[in-house]
Amino acid sequence: QVDPPDVEGRTAILKVHAKDKSLSPSVDLSAVARQTPGMSGADLANLLNEGAIVAARQNKNEIDQDDISNALERIMIGLEKKDGVMSEKKRKLVAYHEAGHAILGALMNDFDVVAKISIVPRGPAGGVTIFMPSEERLNSGLYSKEFLENRMCVALGGRLAEEIINGKDNVTTGASNDFQQCTQVATAMVTQLGMSDAVGQRVIGGNGQGSSGPFMGRDFMGQGAPPVSQALRQLVDGEVKRLVNEQYQRGMTLLKSNMYLLDELAKKLLEQEKVNGDELVKMINKAAAENKLVLPNKVMATAGFVGEVVDTKKTQCLHPDKPAMFACGDCPRRGGKMEEQTMAVAAFAGEEIALYTAGNVVAKKDQCVHPDKALMFACGDCPRRG
């Protein structure tokens, strides 16, 4: 079995399949490669073919970046329901639901990057928040306990936003798939991954489906897990409920503390239907600069784009160990160039925002300072800065 190509391999494959296609100069195949972790060569060829179809339907002579993005969403989620009619009340509900997912995902230390938020119905979904998995995490297959807890919290974000806006008695069935994902993660943590102190480091129920068959002899002959007692099942159920409830309370506190950001993102979604990751980052920067970005008992510091004024009265870096959340001036995510090789860096309380100019060795580079690394902008205590 051949492993899926890494980001460099995907970029090379895309270049091969793009030779016979008319691409717009604005198309960045390396950016497309970063958005397609886990895809094989055939998947990438199909992606460009779908992008060509999307462009042809709009009578375009070239395939641009939006065409490829729409093709990727079509493959991952389904076709847009352009003729679908949504009432203003439902649009508002979907906007807050997706905003809840996106904001919790963006504010988590160890989680995937928010790539796009949309309230345009696709396939069975009324809206979607797309996260870009970490290449390293995907290749290694290793997920930390913090990541799994964050995943549960983010999955609950849609229902939490609905409760905050409409109240508990007016929630909808839109979060059913989110609950399924959340329950699966919590159950795996307790029964398969040894992440519950009460249950301990052991596997319960084989692969989570109970024993291997109706005959106990199979279990004792090594063909399945030992039978599970009723008391142990109750303990597992209690631990699953505890894990889910903890993330529910954590997410509720986080969203209520960031109502300004929740309202702003929902408003923007209602206006333009789609918001990309860069736009969300700018909104987070703006909220932080106005001292409106908070976590429980914490106020956070953010890095700024070139030329932005950043408030330093914060206590903790916003996105430690998160890939490419704060892109430097030359980052492909922004498509811009560094002006006079100057960039802003997040600081802790008491520090001033440092602007690294051409006189500093960090800024002498022609490209992004930390491309595809864990910290695009190093915070005050980043090991990369010492």
Work out the number of other CB atoms within 10 angstroms of the CB of residue 202. Answer: 12
The Cα–Cα gap between 17 and 49 comes to 9
Q: Which residues of 343-370 are buried (b: 16+ CB within 10 A; e: fewer)?
A: bbbbbeeeeebbebeeeeebbeeeebbb
Output Rg (C-alpha) for the chain, integer angstroms. 23
**CA-wise closest residue to 45 among 84, 77, 5:** 5
For residue 81, the SS3 value is coil
**CA-wise closest residue to 145 among 209, 199, 190, 202:** 190
The Cα–Cα gap between 173 and 337 comes to 45
The Cα–Cα gap between 363 and 355 comes to 9
The Cα–Cα gap between 124 and 80 comes to 10
Given a contact cutoff of 8 angstroms between Cβ atoms, the answer to whether 331 and 376 are in contact is: yes
Work out the number of other CB atoms within 10 angstroms of the CB of residue 31. Answer: 17
Given a contact cutoff of 8 angstroms between Cβ atoms, the answer to whether 130 and 122 are in contact is: no
The CA-atom distances, in angstroms, between 85 and each of 82, 121, 172 are 8, 10, 18
Given a contact cutoff of 8 angstroms between Cβ atoms, the answer to whether 195 and 148 are in contact is: yes
Please identify which of the residues 50, 73, 98, 162 carries the catalytic annotation: 98
Given a contact cutoff of 8 angstroms between Cβ atoms, the answer to whether 262 and 283 are in contact is: no
Given a contact cutoff of 8 angstroms between Cβ atoms, the answer to whether 305 and 273 are in contact is: no
Is 162 noted as a catalytic residue in this protein?
no
> Where in the sequence numbering do the catalytic residues fall?
98
